[in-house]
Structure 1
């Protein structure tokens, strides 16, 4: 199993643990476009609750830990936390709970919840932006998870554009636009430089394998892996699906005959590890003739590197180095 143990070393440009000067004296309201709607912030939020690793790392990358009441991340996500360039921030910020709820955010005195559909927001749990508005709590939605108007499908723009949009919006909301633009420029340079590693080489077909043995859970064109794969020099075999993270069937995977499998690593180190996922795929008879299996071309990245967040550019670089060398 080829893994990205050195991924954190590729994140030097993010300025992890940064403390950023904020123009908190600015009294004018700020309006941003979030998931197609105009949202106005009358003042700088000061007690933000974030849900999930990548969302929390966006706040840390912008130097906004002191604006947070705390974060919600499942305690089983040890791979994410151990590999995070912002591990010190996770250690020093308040871990509020494993699962987000109205009770959790009310108990923290939240004035803003930063989450997304299937990244905390869900009608089935009753934890939605509308429900929080009734409690007087504002929300900001992760752009990768914005619904696109077709049922509950998600994704309204390319993944990196979603990342840059959220950085700029958060920069405006928290009055740290200079820091946001600095990050966007550094990430754009990192992505451009990574693309040179595989420029002019054949583009392998890549299957993103998150989980699932009866039916695989993977990435369509609107989730971060689309750009992680594409900017690194490969093609997402399910890049034609107008959705973000979604379930497909094995027949479609077999038919698309991937050259490489990119595995999501979010296990607790004891169950459902990348090695176990690889073993399942290698023993799954219908995939026996897939080039990825025959040639053992597997690569893994942490969950937080494959959902929208500040690890995405380094993920592109890490995967490009794998593709260029294998």
Structure 2
């Protein structure tokens, strides 16, 4: 808020009066310091995966896990609040992404699995991860365990458990992205930046949908992550659901009330996808996955395989990340092309 102009003499008199009463008059430098520290903004309270959390100040040493989560922080310009990130080497070329400067400025703490010892050594005050995005009871690395050693956690909204065992998903995938941007915007006092990103992403999605197939022209689409005996795919609450549907596809696993799930090949054959989207990551790359799909006998009569309609997206396009809107645009263009 801009300051109101006032005569110098009045300002001096007011200052002298306050000093005479024993009041502390902040200097201009103290006012600037207070503004930088966010006084007046904090405390802030947000809801994260059903839990209400209050922050008295912005965390200063955040450790993130995985590429999508890390790039959410970079998109918000929060590199200075990070102690580093944990990420395997199989996440593609990071030198050409819009947030490449974030990778240059921020320490790559480990190319292995995130764990308690690592974040303690990094002197983390907050870990931004998610269920199956770093947090796991099986590994003994959970928000509850971190609380015991004085480290806070923020859970990726795509990974929120919904009360049905360990099933994940409490909101539409893009809503999860927008929720995390806005929550982090409040936590780190960059709300304007968060709202600008959400507005830009919404516009990008709207433009992509305008040219996407509609109605009866919407092709049936299957997301293939990996797996030979049984495929790992996306349910209604993982990123690919919104990416497929908003790109003009009919997501054949939309009835699965979970995020990333394993199904049987017989279900895929029965639902006969007209397009298969491959998730490109790991040592088994897109070309190997495509070769498997085209040579696997049970899939020989599936429309997408017969017509060679297989489209590749990067891992970071498909998990919750700032790359989701662009992925919708590229898939929409492909679906429009193959259905025209």
What's the TM-score, normalizing by structure 1?
0.90
Partner of 1:89: 102
Deviation, structure 1 residue 88 = 2.7
Taking the aligned partners of 2:314 and 2:213, their CA distance within structure 1 comes to 25
The verdict on how the C-alpha distance between 1:22 and 1:227 changes in structure 2, with shifts beyond 3 A counting, is farther
Measure how far apart 1:159 and its partner are.
0.3
Q: Please tell me whether residue 305 in structure 1 is matched to residue 320 in structure 2.
A: no
Tell me if structure 1 keeps the 8 A contact 2:232–2:260.
Answer: yes
User: 2:327 maps to which residue?
Assistant: 315
Find the aligned partners of 1:157 and 1:224 in 2 and give their Cα distance. Answer: 11
Q: Deviations over 1:234-272 (max 9, x none)?
A: 0111110000001111111111100000000113xxx41
Q: Which runs of 5+ in 1 are unaligned?
A: 1-20
| Distance (whole Å) between structure 2 residues aligned to residue 260 and residue 22 of structure 1 | 51
Considering only CA atoms, is the larger Rg found in Structure 1 or Structure 2?
2
Match of 2:70 among 50, 56, 62: 56
Q: How many residues align?
A: 302
| Residues in 1 aligned to 2:258 and 2:97: alpha-carbon distance in whole angstroms | 27
C-alpha contact (below 8 Å) 2:41/2:189 kept by paired residues: no
Equivalents in 2 of 1:88, 1:72: separation in Å? Answer: 16
Alpha-carbon distance in structure 1 between the residues aligned to 2:195 and 2:37? 15
Match of 2:301 in 1: 289
CA distance in 1, matches of 2:57, 2:187: 8
For 2:93 and 2:296, locate their aligned partners in 1 and report how far apart those are by CA, in whole Å.
28
The CA deviation at 1:87 is: 2.2
Q: 86-95 vs 37-46, which deviates more?
A: 86-95
Alignment match, 1:198: 212
Q: What are the ranges of 5 or more consecutive residues in structure 2 without an aligned counterpart?
A: 1-34
**What whole-Å deviation, never above 9, does each CA across 1:1-59 have from its counterpart, x for those lacking one?**
xxxxxxxxxxxxxxxxxxxx976344621110000110111211000000000000000
Q: Distance in 2 between matches of 1:298 and 1:22?
A: 50
Contact 2:79-2:105 at 8 Å conserved across structures:
no
Question: In the TM superposition, what whole-angstrom CA distance separates every residue of 1:156-194 from its partner, at most 9, and x where no partner exists?
Answer: 000010000000000000000000000000100000000
Q: CA RMSD in A?
A: 1.4
Task: Indicate conservation of the 8 Å contact 1:305/1:315, yes or no.
Answer: yes
* 4+ runs deviating over 3 angstroms: 21-27
- Find the counterpart in structure 1 of residue 250 from structure 2: 235
